[in-house]
Structure 1
Amino acid sequence: MAQQQRDEAAWYKATLREGYDRLQRGDHSGAAQCCRQVLQRKPDLAEGHFLVGMIALEAEDPRTALQGFGSVTKLQPDHGAAWAQLARLFIRRGQVNRAEDALEKAVAHADDNPVIQDTIATVFTLLGNAAAASPWQEKALQHQPANIGFLINRANNLMFLGDFSRARTVLESAIAKNPRHANAHWLLSGLEKARNHDHIRVLREILGEPALTDRDTAFLSYALGKELEDLSEWSDAFDAFARGAAARRRTLSYDEKAEVDFFEMLSATYTRNWLDSRPPGNDSHAPIFIIGQPRTGTTLVERIITSHSAVHSAGELRQFEGACRRLLGPRGDASPTAVFEAAAELDPKKVGSAYMTLTQPMQGDSDHFVDKLPVNFRFLPLILAALPNAKIIHIRRGPMDACFASFKQLFAEAYPHSYEQGEMARHHARYYQLMNDWRERFGHRYHEVDYEEVAADPEPHARALLNFIDLPWEDQCLNFYSQSAAVTTASVVQVREAAHTRSVGRWRRYQEQLAPMRQALEGLKIPLEH
Structure 2
Amino acid sequence: MTGQSFQTTPTVPSPQALARIAASLDANPRRAHEEAEALLARSPGFPPAELLACQALVRLEKPREALPRLEALAMREARVPAVLWELAQVAMSCGATAKALPALEALTRLQPAIAGGWFLLARALRASRREMDAWRADLSGVHASARDPELVKAAMAMNAQRFEDGIALLEARIAQRGEDAPAVRLLGETHWRRGDMTAALDRAMRAVELAPGFDLARDFLIRLLLQNNRLAEALEHAEVLVRSPVDTPAHALILASVLVRIGDHARAEELYREILGARPQQPQVWQNLGHVLKTTGQQAEAICAYREAVAQKPTMGEAWWSLANLKTARLGPADIAAMEAALASIDPAAPELREDTFHLHFALGKAYEDAGEPAPSFAHYDKGNRLRRTLVPHDPEAFSAEVAATAQTFNAAMLAQMGPGGCEAPDPIFIVGLPRSGSTLIEQILASHSRIEGTLELPEMMIIASRLQSRVDEGEFPDFAAMIAALTPQDRLRLGEEYIEKTRVHRKTSKPLFLDKMPNNWQHVGLIRLLLPNARIIDARRHPMACCFSGWKQHFARGQTFSYDLADIARYYRDYVALMAAYDAAAPGAVHRVIYEDMVHSTQAQIRALLDYLGVPFEQACLDFHTNARAVRTASSEQVRQPIFTSGVDAWERYTPWLGPLEHALGPIDRLYPAPRMP
TM-score, normalised to structure 2, is 0.68
> Could you tell which deviates more after superposition, 272-281 or 138-147?
138-147
- In structure 2, what is the equivalent of residue 105 of structure 1? 237
**Does residue 308 of the first structure (1) align with residue 440 of the second (2)?**
no
The 5-angstrom pairing of residues 344-363 of structure 1 reads 344-346=485-487, 347=489, 348-363=492-507
Measure the CA separation in 1 of the matches of 2:516 and 2:387.
32
Note if contact 1:84-1:102 (Cα within 8 Å) is conserved in structure 2. no
**Candidates 365, 371, 375, aligned match of 2:510:** 365
Note if contact 1:114-1:139 (Cα within 8 Å) is conserved in structure 2. no
Letter in 2 for 1:342: M
Q: Secondary structure at the match of 1:443?
A: coil
**Candidates 454, 479, 495, aligned match of 2:640:** 495
**Does residue 135 of the first structure (1) align with residue 270 of the second (2)?**
yes
Measure the CA separation in 2 of the matches of 1:198 and 1:54.
45
Letter in 1 for 2:341: E
**Candidates 406, 409, 432, aligned match of 2:554:** 409
Could you give the per-residue CA deviations for residues 112-147 of structure 1, whole angstroms, max 9, x where no partner exists?
Answer: 542232122222222233234333434444554323
Letter in 1 for 2:648: S
- In structure 2, what is the equivalent of residue 206 of structure 1? 342
Note if contact 1:70-1:82 (Cα within 8 Å) is conserved in structure 2. no
Measure the CA separation in 1 of the matches of 2:346 and 2:388.
17
Shift of 1:215: 1.0
**Candidates 384, 400, 418, aligned match of 2:529:** 384
Aligned residues: 513
Measure the CA separation in 2 of the matches of 1:434 and 1:337.
22
**Does residue 193 of the first structure (1) align with residue 329 of the second (2)?**
yes
Compared CA separation, residues 333 and 87, structure 1 to 2 (3 A): farther
Note if contact 1:291-1:375 (Cα within 8 Å) is conserved in structure 2. yes
Shift of 1:460: 1.2
Letter in 2 for 1:137: Y
Note if contact 2:232-2:505 (Cα within 8 Å) is conserved in structure 1. no
- In structure 1, what is the equivalent of residue 597 of structure 2? 452
**Does residue 165 of the first structure (1) align with residue 300 of the second (2)?**
yes
Q: Which has the higher contact order (CA 8 A, sep 6+)?
A: 1
Superposition RMSD in Å: 3.6
Note if contact 2:226-2:234 (Cα within 8 Å) is conserved in structure 1. no
Shift of 1:148: 2.5
- In structure 2, what is the equivalent of residue 272 of structure 1? 412
- In structure 1, what is the equivalent of residue 285 of structure 2? 150
Could you give the per-residue CA deviations for residues 264-318 of structure 1, whole angstroms, max 9, x where no partner exists?
Answer: 2201111111111222332222211111111100000110111111110021111
Shift of 1:70: 4.7
Letter in 2 for 1:285: P
Note if contact 1:304-1:480 (Cα within 8 Å) is conserved in structure 2. yes
**Does residue 320 of the first structure (1) align with residue 461 of the second (2)?**
yes
Measure the CA separation in 2 of the matches of 1:38 and 1:408.
43
Q: Secondary structure at the match of 1:485?
A: coil
Measure the CA separation in 2 of the matches of 1:355 and 1:184.
34
> Could you tell which deviates more after superposition, 229-238 or 177-186?
177-186
Compared CA separation, residues 434 and 189, structure 1 to 2 (3 A): same
Measure the CA separation in 2 of the matches of 1:286 and 1:9.
51
Shift of 1:353: 1.7
- In structure 1, what is the equivalent of residue 11 of structure 2? none
Shift of 1:508: 1.9
Measure the CA separation in 2 of the matches of 1:139 and 1:368.
35
Could you give the per-residue CA deviations for residues 14-48 of structure 1, whole angstroms, max 9, x where no partner exists?
Answer: 989x99xxxxxxxxx99546999988876778678
Measure the CA separation in 1 of the matches of 2:252 and 2:268.
9
Could you give the per-residue CA deviations for residues 317-346 of structure 1, whole angstroms, max 9, x where no partner exists?
Answer: 1112334566x5983986999678624532
Measure the CA separation in 2 of the matches of 1:452 and 1:461.
10
- In structure 1, what is the equivalent of residue 88 of structure 2? none
**Does residue 235 of the first structure (1) align with residue 380 of the second (2)?**
no
Measure the CA separation in 2 of the matches of 1:356 and 1:302.
19
Shift of 1:244: 0.7
Shift of 1:509: 1.5
Shift of 1:434: 0.9
Compared CA separation, residues 130 and 231, structure 1 to 2 (3 A): same
Letter in 2 for 1:189: A
Letter in 1 for 2:530: A
Could you give the per-residue CA deviations for residues 74-106 of structure 1, whole angstroms, max 9, x where no partner exists?
Answer: 23433455445544544554x4xx431233123
Letter in 2 for 1:299: T
**Does residue 429 of the first structure (1) align with residue 574 of the second (2)?**
yes
Could you give the per-residue CA deviations for residues 182-217 of structure 1, whole angstroms, max 9, x where no partner exists?
Answer: 112111222333263121111111122241432111
**Candidates 472, 477, 481, aligned match of 2:626:** 481
Note if contact 2:362-2:384 (Cα within 8 Å) is conserved in structure 1. yes
Measure the CA separation in 2 of the matches of 1:116 and 1:165.
28
Measure the CA separation in 1 of the matches of 2:325 and 2:347.
25
Measure the CA separation in 2 of the matches of 1:257 and 1:52.
37
Note if contact 2:325-2:635 (Cα within 8 Å) is conserved in structure 1. no
Gaps of 5+ in 2: 4-110, 115-142, 175-179
Note if contact 2:167-2:187 (Cα within 8 Å) is conserved in structure 1. no
TM-score, normalised to structure 1, is 0.85
Q: Secondary structure at the match of 2:521?
A: helix
The 5-angstrom pairing of residues 248-267 of structure 1 reads 248-267=388-407
Note if contact 1:282-1:387 (Cα within 8 Å) is conserved in structure 2. yes
- In structure 2, what is the equivalent of residue 26 of structure 1? none
Note if contact 2:184-2:207 (Cα within 8 Å) is conserved in structure 1. no
Measure the CA separation in 2 of the matches of 1:376 and 1:271.
17
Note if contact 1:249-1:419 (Cα within 8 Å) is conserved in structure 2. yes
Q: Secondary structure at the match of 1:173?
A: helix
